Amino acid sequence: MHPALIFYKFSKFIPCKIRHANWLVIMTMICLTATTPAIAKMANRCDEPVFGAASIAIDKVAATAAEAQKTGVDAAAQTAFHQVLNRVLLSSADQDEFAAAHSYDAFTDFVHIIEEKNLEKRYIARLDFCFDAERMRTAMQNAGLQWAELQSPPILLLPVWKDPDGASAWLKNNSWIAGWQDAVDHYQGLVSLRRLPHSLTHERRFRGGDLLAGDPIKLAAAARIAEAEQVLVVAATLDYEGSKRVVDVEVRLFDKTGQPITTILSQSDIMLEKTDSKPLDALRQTILGRIEGSWHSANLINSSAAGYLLVDVPVTSVKQWSDRLAALRQVAVIKNVTIRTLDTNGGSVLLALVGSREALQNALASHDLLLVDTGDMISIIAKSDGQ
């Protein structure tokens, strides 16, 4: 995994019901969340948004309105189910195998109707789906699968294009920039990607040359606006070798203060035809796959690799002890929590793990907790106490 792709998560599930939303409120929400991750759009629908799918569109024509609705909703549910499987299972073979062996009906927990219209022989709608996380975990465990469900904290993605005319992050008709904007808007995975919406203020403040140079002041300012923990600058530089167009691509990760963390990818001499963007499109998928793959690998839940970890949990109050236990029991990589000792200063607990130490550290970070190993003792403390 790349050194500082350190990330976060959501929790628990809710009873089944169907609600209709006020159209004006929905339109307002769509405008406000246009540049946020797809999972974030499910935060108000599903208690565990990772196991949900948002705004699945239906436009079905059939012999009758009832048949159009039935077949349309079924197809939408299948789409939503595969979207969730694609998110939590990295291997396409595992996704196909699980989908073939299980019906989405076995896991459907909640359906929300954003909008719908019934015509004589046509059904048009947009639906949100929530699937039961506990039932899906049990099924994946019984199938012997490894999966990940920890969502990352926000990462701001800034695409930059440089050619002989200069560098820009805001060219409207540039396939590199537009392609990344579209990729962020439609991304459905666990890595929480964000982008800055285009505005004259952003265009003047965040110039391509500054972003390409890794200016920490500019990167930190962009991270604050996006409320991001990290910044990913994906830069493509166009040059010419005679009449041939050659592009170099570099992808660098920065922390929220604009300090460099690592270079995720650096590739040179990509031959590019004047009207052919396929090589850059393919490279975009490679970059996304590399980020997603490293995050999945670091946060796999694997019941066959179960182990135990005895940790000390220091606290200053009964409420803090209760809060710590509640947080530990919400971490998917922790199968069981057993209290071994308890006194006025805290206690020790035995954690039954179904994942790596790194996966545990990342999951604890989502609850503002740290795993500290001093050599003599392993403790779980608040982040604020470890700074």
Predicted local distance difference test score (pLDDT) of residue 43: 59
pLDDT at 40 (0 to 100):
62
CATH of 155-298, one of 1.10.287, 2.20.70, 3.40.50, 1.10.8: 3.40.50
**In the prediction, which pLDDT does 32 show?**
34
pLDDT of residue 37: 55
pLDDT at 356: 86
Give pLDDT tens digits for 64-116: 999 999 999 999 999 999 999 999 998 999 999 999 999 999 999 989 999 99
Q: What is the pLDDT of residue 51?
A: 96
What CATH class has 303-386? alpha beta
pLDDT score, position 3: 35
| Amino acid 5: pLDDT | 38
> Whole-prediction pTM value?
0.77
Give the count of beta carbons closer than 10 Å to the beta carbon of residue 196. 21
52-61, strands of its sheet edge to edge: 52-61, 122-131, 108-118
**Residue given tokens 């550290």 in the structure block:** 361
Interhelix angle for 278-298 vs 357-365, to 10°? 100
Separation CA 306–CA 214 (nearest Å): 42
Low pLDDT (below 50) residues in the chain: 1-36
Q: How far is CA 72 from CA 76, 112, 122, 325, in A?
A: 6, 15, 9, 43
Per CATH, domain 23-142 is 3.10.129: yes
What pLDDT does 15 receive? 33
Domain boundaries of the chain, sorted by first residue: 23-142, 155-298, 303-386
Give the span between the Cα atoms of 149 and 84, in whole angstroms. 10
Contact partners, residue 265, CB within 8 Å, separation at least 6: 249, 250, 251, 286, 287, 290
How do residues 347-379 score in pLDDT, each as one tens digit? 999 999 988 888 899 899 888 999 999 888 999
